[in-house]
């Protein structure tokens, strides 16, 4: 009984560590890939946004975009670009941009005239991924 319990405990600890490591190991290569889209013209905002998505789940990222600024948003998932749909939506529900209209490209620039609160909604392309890590990165021009 004691041996079985110990074996279970060891398995559980290893398994738990694996689960923790899972998000890191899945998201890290995607982050590396996504970071390439925030080129040297853009200053990173200093934060890292990620979430795990399953099926048709939607991740929502709230941002305040300051007027007079050009932002670059990069949104990535999976092994290559174009696995993630993302849209920029204002607080009244108006879609300001959607990469579905542009070949699900992994990055886009937003030139913001006046400060605005928006949400970035991200969803896996069901044709390319059933589940995965969604990474969002933000940079801005000086």
Partner 1 sequence: MGRARPDTFVAERSPNRLDMSLSFSLKTVGGSAICLLLCSCGGPSGEEGAVTKTDTLAADPTTDPSVMKVGGKLFSLPSPVQTALLIRKLGLEYKQDLVVPNSMLDAMTTRNSKALAMGMYGADLAYLTMYKDGKRAVSTLQAIERLGRELNVGNAFDQPLMERFKNNLNNEDSLLLLGSAAYQAADRYLKSNERADISALVLAGGFVESLFLSTSSPGALKDQNLANRIGEQKTTLGNLIGLLRDQADQEGLSALTTQLVELNELFSGIARTYEYAEPVTEASTKTTYINSTSTVSITGDQLKAIATKVSAIRNSILA
Q: Which residues contact 49 (CB under 8 A, 6 or more apart)?
A: 61, 135, 136, 137, 138
Q: Which residue carries 């992994």 as its tokens? A: 106
Q: Which of 18, 36, 39, 97 is nearest to 65 (CA)?
A: 97
CB 137, min distance to partner 1, A: 8
Binding test (CB under 8 A) with partner 1, winner from 31, 74, 76, 84: 31
Distance CA 87, CA 70 (A): 17
Question: At its nearest, how many Å lie between partner 1 and the CB of residue 96?
Answer: 5
Residue 33 CA to residue 78 CA, distance in Å, equals: 10
136 touches partner 1 (CB under 8 A): yes
User: Which residues, numbered 1-20, are part of the site for partner 1 (CB under 8 A)?
Assistant: 8, 11-12, 14-16, 18-20
Query: For residue 131, what are the CA distances in angstroms to 28, 106, 112?
Result: 16, 17, 32
Kindly state whether residue 126 participates in binding partner 1, applying the rule CB under 8 A.
Answer: yes
Instruction: Pick the binder of partner 1 from 63, 74, 75, 84 (CB under 8 A).
Output: 63
Count, residues near partner 1 per rule CB under 8 A: 82
Residue numbers 65-94 binding partner 1 by CB under 8 A: 65-67, 69, 77-79, 88, 90-92, 94
**Quick check: 111 binds partner 1 (CB under 8 A)?**
yes
Least separation, in Å, of the C-beta of 88 and partner 1? 8
User: Using the rule CB under 8 A, is 129 a contact of partner 1?
Assistant: yes
Candidate residues 4, 5, 51, 86; the one interacting with partner 1 per rule CB under 8 A: 51
- CA dist 79 and 119 (Å) reads 25
Q: Is 98 exposed, middle or buried (0-12, 13-18, 19+ CB in 10 A)?
A: middle
């Amino acid at each position: 009984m004691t041996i079985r319990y110990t074996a279970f405990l060891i398995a559980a600890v290893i398994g738990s560590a694996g689960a923790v490591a899972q998000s890191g190991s899945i998201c890290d290569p995607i982050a590396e890939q996504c970071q390439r889209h925030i080129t040297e013209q853009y200053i990173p905002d200093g934060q890292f946004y990620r979430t795990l998505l399953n099926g048709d789940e939607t991740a929502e990222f709230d941002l305040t975009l300051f007027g007079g600024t050009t932002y670059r948003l990069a949104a990535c998932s999976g092994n290559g670009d174009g696995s993630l749909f993302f849209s920029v939506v204002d607080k009244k529900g108006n879609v300001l941009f959607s990469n579905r209209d542009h070949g699900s490209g992994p990055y886009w620039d937003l030139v913001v005239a006046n400060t605005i609160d928006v949400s970035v909604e991200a969803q896996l392309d069901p044709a390319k991924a059933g589940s995965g890590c969604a990474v969002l990165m933000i940079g801005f021009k000086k």
